[in-house]
Structure 1
Amino acid sequence: MSKYHSFNSEKNIKYKLPNEITLFWNKGLFDSFIGIDKVNIHYAQFIQEQVECPTIVIVPGRCESYLKYQELSFDLYQQGYNIFIIDHRGQGLSGRMLLNVNKGYVTKFQDYVDDLRYFIENIVTPKSSEKPYLLAHSMGGTIATRFMQDSPNAIKAAVISSPMLGFYSGLLPKSIAKILVAIKLKFNNIISNTPWYFLGQKDYSPVNFTDNKLTHSIPRYQYFVDLYKKNKIIQLGGVTTHWLAQSIAAQKELFSKIVQLKTPILLLQASGDTVVCQQAQDDFCQQLHTLQPQSCPNGVPSNIDNAFHELFFETDDLRNKAITQSLAWFEQHT
């Protein structure tokens, strides 16, 4: 830890971000571009005053907005990086595609990937002195990995945190779960032109901290609950069956095209993750390391013990490990 500027701590949050982070955030540039099917895609950027600093592109997970990444952006900026963050279509401040804006939906999963490609090629790269790094979380990990398969020379190195390479289906066998999704989608398409929520999914409703499976950090959890309460425009509910089907297809495509990955990738795995499938992460690392030994050292994910899904919003000890490993990975690939 001594080689890095100290990271922000939970005690500094106290249910609101400290003034130093707020001042940093207010100096950012917030803009948008027109993505696939004319959907407005919002983004944030923070450029160092010094010339020729390395760049990190943050690719958030499902439900997230770049507004949630103020603390992490500040910490990474303090280490000397330019920061760019994209808000995916259908969430955050970006355009929604359905009348019910609470529904998690995307027409094609590839639309996320194409948006990210445009963002990196037309907004990030022209403002960067060298190829950027990628730091992607959960669904963002799937999007980022698919992007790196389509554009194998665009990124210097990547960290994918708790990537959505497979879904955690609990006691239900994965094969049965996928059949259930397919049947529900077919029935939906026959009955209605409006995408339905998948079983058990509903409009946005905050979860009590004691029931959450995202983080052990009370102040960080409370911060983003308050953030979503204050900024209703970024609220998002559960997923539609169509979104699930598109995501399952994207995961399958990702594994079928794993040979196309040339970018050095580090996979951070949360040992207590029940949001995405850890076995899929293990399989990915084993296969990728065999093909590209510079990725997934020793052929396994870098496991962070006792952590829940959102490593960069965890308690200080767990979060600091995730940030430190990410920075060390980027520094190995200068």
Structure 2
Amino acid sequence: MVEASIPENQTSASAAAIDRRAIPADASESRWQAADGHELRRIDWAANSETPRGSILFLPGRGDFYEKYLESLEEWHRAGWRVTAADWRGQAGSGRLGDDKLTGHIEDFTQWTSDLAHLWSAWKASTPGPHVLVAHSMGGHIVTRALVDGLVDPDAVVLSAPMLGMAGPPLPLAVLHSVARVMARIGSPKRPAWKWSEKPGEMPARRRDLLTHDDDRYEDELWWRQTRPELAMGPGSWGWVERAYASTREIEAPGAMEKVDIPVLVVSTSNDKLVKHEAAARAAERFPKGEIAAFGEEAHHEILREVDDVRGEAMRDIAEFLDRVAPRQA
């Protein structure tokens, strides 16, 4: 474990700068078991007062790891939240499901929604309310699918750049799914669906330009990958692509999002080159209690890891939303 030094005095801690390259002293890393016994990583911050603000469960995106979001997680903890974040099965420090160490594969997205439901049940029972789900990118897709399928019952949800539509050719979803289905069948569904770089494991040259305008925060991710090599992941498999389209069709089905009677804030940017902003904006309209915090050219895909002004605005939008829809319990 990487050590950090956070002052014990809460007032001092609240004012102290957050070291994005250290596990905070108040956080503890551990493992939890899914229903089938598969072990996954998690990190927890205990409530920092006798009257906690509530509890947040954060889930990252495809190829992500919770170390990338320590800054936001620690900020929520300092604001009084009891915080947990966890890996998805098959990525970061929770093993691999493909044939190599870099390709991300899954047999079906319901494996992930089942894991989430299992974690949610135990986590909700052991933490103070209100209970909030926050998720980024693919994590936002999985949380949305779990909501549509009635597997989780949070008091509020925040979706950061949710993968409700993948960037790509402007073709109908059914056509894209059909092509992916063919590609998954003509070879191993575990083979990479796109090229990563000229050298195995090396980052693509323009990757930063897709994620954030902030060079330092991007370098933080590379630092964590070097410090903890098990976190590194590259392309998704053709099986992942095909299952992603199949799951998207479930979410897009008529009446699916309309039955989610939970406040949902969608944080999205029209400058996103990885997921479709249009799909996120449409979801915010379809959720009966949906709202959107929209950004433009000032934000790339990882809005919570953007430059200070942009990231700060997003964090304020989230705080204001939660204060309205999930106020502190008496």
TM-score tier (shorter)? 0.7 to 0.9
Q: How does 1:187-206 map onto structure 2 within 5 Å?
A: 187-188=186-187, 192=188, 195-201=190-196, 203-206=200-203
Deviates more, 1:266-275 or 1:142-151: 142-151
Contact 1:131 1:156 in 2 (8 A): yes
In 2 relative to 1, CA 210–204 (structure 1 residues): closer, same or farther, beyond 3 Å? closer
Moved more, 149-158 or 216-225: 149-158
Equivalent residue for 1:318? 310
Q: 1: CA distance between counterparts of 2:207 and 2:230?
A: 25
* Alignment match, 1:236: 233
- Is it true that 1:252 corresponds to 2:243 in the alignment? no
Following superposition, the deviation at residue 148 of structure 1 comes to 2.0
Partner residue of 2:185? 186
CA deviation profile, 1:36-68 (whole Å, cap 9, x unmatched): 543211111101231241111111111111122
- Deviation at residue 97 of structure 1 after TM alignment: 1.8
Deviation at 1:332, TM superposition (A): 0.6
Matched, 1:265 2:268: no
Query: Residue 274 of structure 1 corresponds to which residue in structure 2?
Result: 273
Give the conservation status (yes or no) of the 8 Å contact 2:34–2:119: no
Match of 1:111, SS state, is helix
Do 2:272 and 2:300's aligned partners in 1 also have CA atoms closer than 8 Å? yes
Amino acid at match of 1:318: V
Q: For 1:166, give the aligned amino acid.
A: G
Higher percent of residues as helix: 1
Structure 2 CA distance for partners of 1:126 and 1:109, relative to 1, 3 Å = same
Secondary structure at the aligned position of 1:26 is classed as coil
Q: How far is 1:114 from its partner?
A: 1.1
Q: Which moved more, 1:31-40 or 1:271-280?
A: 31-40
The answer to whether the aligner puts 1:95 opposite 2:90 as a matched pair is no
Q: Is the 8 A contact 1:39 1:96 kept in 2?
A: no
- AA aligned to 2:25 is N
List runs of 5+ in structure 2 lacking aligned partners.
Answer: 1-11
Asked if 2 retains the 8 angstrom alpha-carbon contact of 1:52 and 1:128, the reply is no
Answer whether contact 1:153 1:262 (CA < 8 A) is retained: no
Equivalences, count: 309
Partner of 2:323: 331
The question of whether the paired residues in 1 share the 8 Å contact of 2:91 and 2:231 is answered with yes
**Paired residues for 1:1-334 under 5 Å:** 17=19, 22=22, 25-35=24-34, 37-53=36-52, 54-122=54-122, 124-151=123-150, 154-170=153-169, 177-188=176-187, 192=188, 195-201=190-196, 203-208=200-205, 212-256=209-253, 257-288=256-287, 292=288, 294-296=289-291, 301-305=292-296, 306-333=298-325, 334=327
**Identical columns (%):** 21
Code of the residue aligned with 1:323 in structure 2: it is M
Separation in structure 2 between the aligned mates of residue 276 and residue 172 of structure 1, nearest angstrom: 14
Q: Distance in 1 between matches of 2:243 and 2:120?
A: 23
Displacement of 1:238 after TM fit?
0.2
2:319 alignment partner AA: L
**How many Å separate the matches in 2 of 1:37 and 1:134?**
23
Matched residue, 2:7: none
In structure 2, the residue corresponding to 1:56 is in which secondary structure? strand
Q: What is the CA–CA distance in structure 1 between the aligned matches of 2:194 and 2:221, rounded to whole Å?
A: 26
After superposition, the CA RMSD in angstroms is 2.6
Alpha-carbon displacement from aligned partner over 1:209-252 (angstroms, at most 9, x marks no partner): 68531000011001111111221101001010000111111111
TM superposition shift of 1:128:
1.5
Cα gap change, 1:129 to 1:171, in 2 (>3 Å): closer
1:154/1:171 CA distance change after superposition, 3 Å: closer
Give the deviation of 1:286 after TM superposition.
2.5
- For 1:153 and 1:207, the matched residues in 2 are separated by 36
The answer on whether the counterparts of 1:215 and 1:221 sit within 8 Å (CA) in structure 2 is yes
Tell whether the 8 Å contact from 2:97 to 2:104 is kept in structure 1 after alignment. no
Give the whole-Å Cα distance in 1 for the aligned partners of 2:60 and 2:295.
Answer: 19
CA distance in 2, matches of 1:246, 1:7: 42
Distance in 2 separating the partners of 1:249 and 1:281:
17
TM-score normalised by structure 2 residue count = 0.85
Matched residue SS, 1:323: helix
